[in-house]
C-alpha cells in the first residue's frame, strides 16, 4: 500500500514486486539489494546513475572555497568534497506535481 507520508523501504519494494510477480520474498530482497549495490558501486567509482523516467543521481566534486560563519561573519575555508544530488526526471516531476 502506498502512503502519502512515511518512508518507502527495501522491504516495501520487495513486497510490491512480490504482489505483482510472485517471486519469493527472499529472492526479491536479494534482487533489491543487488540493484542498490550496483547503483552504489557505480557512484563509488564516480559515475552518475540515471534511471530513465525516474531521475539521475549526480556526483559533483566541489573545490575548496571560502565560506562565512553566518553568526560571526568570520571567513573560514571549506574543504574540497564530493556531493551527491538527485535530479528528478520531467516524467517523475509531472507525476508528483499532478498528484
Predicted TM-score (pTM) of the model is 0.72
Would you say residue 16 has pLDDT above 60?
Answer: yes
The runs of H, that is alpha helices, within the chain are 10-21, 25-44, 90-98
Superfamily of domain 48-99, CATH level 4: IHF-like DNA-binding proteins (4.10.520.10)
Would you say residue 4 has pLDDT above 80?
Answer: no
Q: What is the pLDDT of residue 99?
A: 67
pLDDT in tens, 42-87: 999 999 999 999 999 999 999 999 999 999 999 999 999 999 999 9
Would you say residue 2 has pLDDT above 90?
Answer: no
Q: Who contacts 65 (Cβ-Cβ below 8 Å, separation ≥6)?
A: 77, 78
Question: How is the chain split into domains, by residue range?
Answer: 7-44, 48-99
**Helices 25-44, 10-21: crossing angle, 10 deg rounding:** 130
| Cell numbers given for 83 | 556531493
pLDDT in tens, 18-54: 888 888 889 999 999 999 999 999 999 999 999 999 9
Q: How far apart are CA 64 and CA 91, in angstroms?
A: 35
| Cell numbers given for 32 | 533489491
Amino acid at each position: 500500500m502506498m502512503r502519502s507520508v512515511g518512508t518507502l523501504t527495501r522491504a516495501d519494494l520487495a513486497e510490491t514486486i512480490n504482489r505483482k510477480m510472485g517471486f519469493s520474498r527472499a529472492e526479491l530482497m536479494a534482487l533489491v539489494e543487488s540493484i542498490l549495490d550496483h547503483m552504489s558501486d557505480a557512484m563509488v567509482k564516480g559515475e552518475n546513475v540515471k534511471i530513465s523516467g525516474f531521475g539521475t543521481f549526480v556526483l559533483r566534486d566541489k573545490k575548496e572555497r571560502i565560506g562565512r560563519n553566518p553568526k560571526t561573519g568570520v571567513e573560514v575555508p571549506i574543504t574540497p568534497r564530493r556531493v551527491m544530488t538527485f535530479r528528478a526526471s520531467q516524467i517523475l516531476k509531472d507525476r508528483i506535481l499532478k498528484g
